[in-house]
């Protein structure tokens, strides 16, 4: 290894200063130096350098450039607009317009090696058009703040694309999204858009889509999602956040969507029908239908829903969803009876629990903490608790830890002996002097 390192340093020095070779012209000297090692040796030598370091030397001469670009083309390159490199094959793009011309030139040279690109497009123009030509092998594409819509075309781009995120790309339309719906697409995320209606789902032909995120898409119509559900049977994760101003309600139809997704493992839904009248009976019916559909999803692990929940819902979920580990119910009428049913069935496996507004007292919350050794998040905002609940929860947490250390569970790498519980509660329940419980709790 020491000899190889020495060789690599000497060769690079020679490549940078070809005219120092006595009696040989510069171009010929380069060929002599580069020809001194075969392709396998050069691959080992250049392997000591990161992509960023290689790019600093690629313009030394044409022969060296061919060697460097060939080596870079064999590496899976990741491009991000972060502050630091993740690994040696990560290129960091600063969010400054003045770097865009040089970045485009670089991308035209090395784009075929780029497999992952995450970019804030606020200061850049013609991003997608450039990527189409320069980066045909993209597998992951995340774009923020794309300025304008893409020209319409029936051509599918980036045939290897597996993950697509378009966030705050306000002018992107259904036709634009359709250009990325390749057969290998596994994850699609659309956040903060004002033109996408969901019509693009009609052109979805991939059986591999596993995760779909639709958040703050103002023109989105739930009917397109529902009629396309037969194409989403392999979906394991659905995130739907929608403030619906249409007179056609969404909440009472969500159970129809869930019934068509047999492999669903994670559901995050925050839907508000703005034009719907406040009706307790209607809200109860919506919850009954959705919870019944969810109980038929035996793989369900993560549930986060802004639906009302009662004890019988909690009992049904606890007994039917044997994989349940994250449960966030933001509007609940849960009492101790429902909580006990959950703790008996899933307490040992729960990681996150939100029971905001539940009819639970201090001792009910403490019992919950004591029964959930893996719990890292607990939300009891607006529950019927007193100012002493924080101290009581901290005591329960310490007791639970003491019991775990004395049991065989302590050897389990997935336990919660080291992590502190993040407790979310009303701010007036504590004075923010957390020295008494900072060893076991983080107050949120």
Q: Where are the domains of the chain?
A: 1-74, 310-444
Higher pLDDT, 189 or 6: 189
Higher pLDDT, 88 or 338: 338
Distance CA 267, CA 270 (A): 10
Write out the two tokens for 427.
């701010």
Distance CA 436, CA 395 (A): 10
**Which run of H or E residues covers position 291?**
helix 280-295
pLDDT the model gives residue 403: 79
Distance CA 281, CA 269 (A): 21
Percentage of the chain beyond pLDDT 90 is: 46
pLDDT the model gives residue 12: 40
pLDDT the model gives residue 443: 87
CATH topology of domain 310-444: 3.80.10
pLDDT the model gives residue 426: 85
Sign of CA dihedral 170, 173, 176, 182: positive
> Do 431 and 388 touch, CB atoms closer than 8 A?
no
Is residue 225 pLDDT above 70, yes or no?
Answer: yes
Write out the two tokens for 28.
């010929």
pLDDT tens digits for 386-418? 988 999 999 999 888 887 776 655 555 556 667
pLDDT the model gives residue 6: 39
Token pair 């013609």 in the structure block, residue:
126
pLDDT the model gives residue 8: 38
Q: If pLDDT is split at 50, 70 and 90, which confidence band does 80 have?
A: confident
- The neighbour count for residue 435, using CB atoms within 10 Å, is 6
Largest CA distance in the chain: 95
Distance CA 285, CA 168 (A): 35
At 419, give phi and psi (nearest 5°). Answer: -75, 145
Distance CA 241, CA 152 (A): 27
Question: pTM of this prediction?
Answer: 0.84
Average pLDDT over residues 301-323: 95
Output DSSP code: residue 66.
Answer: H
pLDDT the model gives residue 279: 83
> Do 245 and 275 touch, CB atoms closer than 8 A?
yes
């Amino acid at each position: 290894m020491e000899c190889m390192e020495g060789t690599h340093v000497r060769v690079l020095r020679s490549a940078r200063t070809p005219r120092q070779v006595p009696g040989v012209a510069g171009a010929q000297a380069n060929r002599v130096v580069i020809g001194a090692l075969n392709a396998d040796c050069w691959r080992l030598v250049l392997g000591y350098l990161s992509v960023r370091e290689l790019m600093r030397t690629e313009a030394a001469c044409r022969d060296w450039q061919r060697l460097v670009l060939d080596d870079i083309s064999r590496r899976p390159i990741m491009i991000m607009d972060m502050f630091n490199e993740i690994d040696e094959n990560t290129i960091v793009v600063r969010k400054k317009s003045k770097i865009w011309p040089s970045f485009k030139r670089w991308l035209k040279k090395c784009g075929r090696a780029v497999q992952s690109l995450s970019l804030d497009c606020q200061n850049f123009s013609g991003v997608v058009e450039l990527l189409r030509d320069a980066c045909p092998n993209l597998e992951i594409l995340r774009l923020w703040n794309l300025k304008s819509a893409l020209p319409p075309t029936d051509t599918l781009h980036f045939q290897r694309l597996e993950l697509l995120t378009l966030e705050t790309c306000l002018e992107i339309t259904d036709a634009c999204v359709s250009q990325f719906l390749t057969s290998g697409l596994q994850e699609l995320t659309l956040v903060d858009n004002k033109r996408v209606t969901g019509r693009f789902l009609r052109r979805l032909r991939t059986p591999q889509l596993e995760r779909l995120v639709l958040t703050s898409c103002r023109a989105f119509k739930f009917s397109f999602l529902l009629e396309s559900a037969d194409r989403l049977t392999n979906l394991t994760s659905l995130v739907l956040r929608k403030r619906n101003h249409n007179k056609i309600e969404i909440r009472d139809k969500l159970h129809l969507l869930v019934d068509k997704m047999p492999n669903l493992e994670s559901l995050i839904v925050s839907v508000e029908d703005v034009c719907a009248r406040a009706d307790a009976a209607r809200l109860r019916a919506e919850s009954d239908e959705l919870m019944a559909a969810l109980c038929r999803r035996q793989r369900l692990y993560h549930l986060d829903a802004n639906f009302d929940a009662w004890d019988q819902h909690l009992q049904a979920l606890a007994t039917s969803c044997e994989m349940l580990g994250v449960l966030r119910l933001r509007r609940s009428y849960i009492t101790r009876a429902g909580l006990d049913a959950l703790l008996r069935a899933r307490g040992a496996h729960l990681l996150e629990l939100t029971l905001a507004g539940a009819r639970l007292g201090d001792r009910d919350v403490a019992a919950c903490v004591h029964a959930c050794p893996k719990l890292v998040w607990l939300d009891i905002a607006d529950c019927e608790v007193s100012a002493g609940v924080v101290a009581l929860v901290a005591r329960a947490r310490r007791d639970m830890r003491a019991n775990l250390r004395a049991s065989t569970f302590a050897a389990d790498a997935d336990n919660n002996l080291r992590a502190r519980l993040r407790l979310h509660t009303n701010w007036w329940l504590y004075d923010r002097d957390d020295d008494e419980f900072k060893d076991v709790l983080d107050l949120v």
